[in-house]
């Protein structure tokens, strides 16, 4: 929790946060994901575990993993981008919402994840599942504000 207040300067804690992503303690995992999101690009070593959480974690773990991956930026590589793209089809709406926000944070890097039917003049074909307007708002430093 304290790492969130320190911000990106807490990058030295990334190696200590990695094993927490694999633990069964929901609260510890949640705060580790939030800290990694605040650390941003320097949290790139966590990307493989965050991708795994996007695939196999519970709904809350998946949504916070999406936000952390988006905050890390282009350092997530094509595998991270693909994981966020898959999250757009998640059965849980808040996971889909946070994947949209994460992709938005990635800017041009996320363009390959956009459906082929999307165009800048007609965004309607892009919406395969409903998202609230809040999911389109640029997130703050801690994410979308959709946390549970």
**Mean pLDDT by 10-residue block, N- to C-terminus, for the chain (148 residues)?**
62 91 92 92 96 95 96 94 94 95 90 59 41 41 39
pLDDT of residue 116: 43
Q: What's the pLDDT at 12? A: 84
pLDDT value for 5? 59
- pLDDT at residue 111, as a whole number: 85
Least Cα distance to 131 among 85, 89, 93, 84 occurs for 93
pLDDT score, position 131: 40
Q: Could you tell me if 110 and 104 are in contact, meaning their C-beta atoms sit under 8 angstroms apart? A: yes
Angstrom distances, CA of residue 32 to CA of 16, 61, 70? 9, 11, 15
At 110 the pLDDT is 87
Please report the pLDDT score of residue 34 as a whole number.
92
118: which DSSP letter?
-
What local confidence, expressed as pLDDT, does residue 32 receive?
A: 93
pTM of the model: 0.75
Q: Identify the CA nearest to 65 among candidates 99, 89, 42, 39.
A: 99
């Amino acid at each position: 929790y304290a790492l969130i207040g320190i911000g990106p300067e807490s990058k030295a804690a990334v190696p200590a946060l990695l094993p927490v992503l694999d633990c069964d303690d929901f609260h510890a995992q949640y705060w580790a994901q939030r800290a990694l999101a605040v650390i941003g690009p320097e949290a790139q070593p966590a990307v493989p575990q965050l991708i795994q959480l996007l695939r196999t974690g519970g709904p809350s773990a998946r949504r916070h993993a999406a936000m952390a991956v988006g905050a890390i930026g282009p350092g997530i590589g094509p595998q991270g981008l693909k994981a966020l793209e898959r999250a757009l089809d998640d059965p849980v709406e808040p996971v889909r919402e946070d994947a949209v926000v994460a992709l938005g944070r990635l800017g041009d890097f996320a363009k390959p994840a956009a459906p082929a039917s999307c165009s800048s003049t007609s965004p309607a074909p892009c919406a395969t599942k409903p998202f609230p307007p809040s999911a389109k708002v640029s997130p703050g430093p801690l994410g979308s504000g959709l946390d549970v």
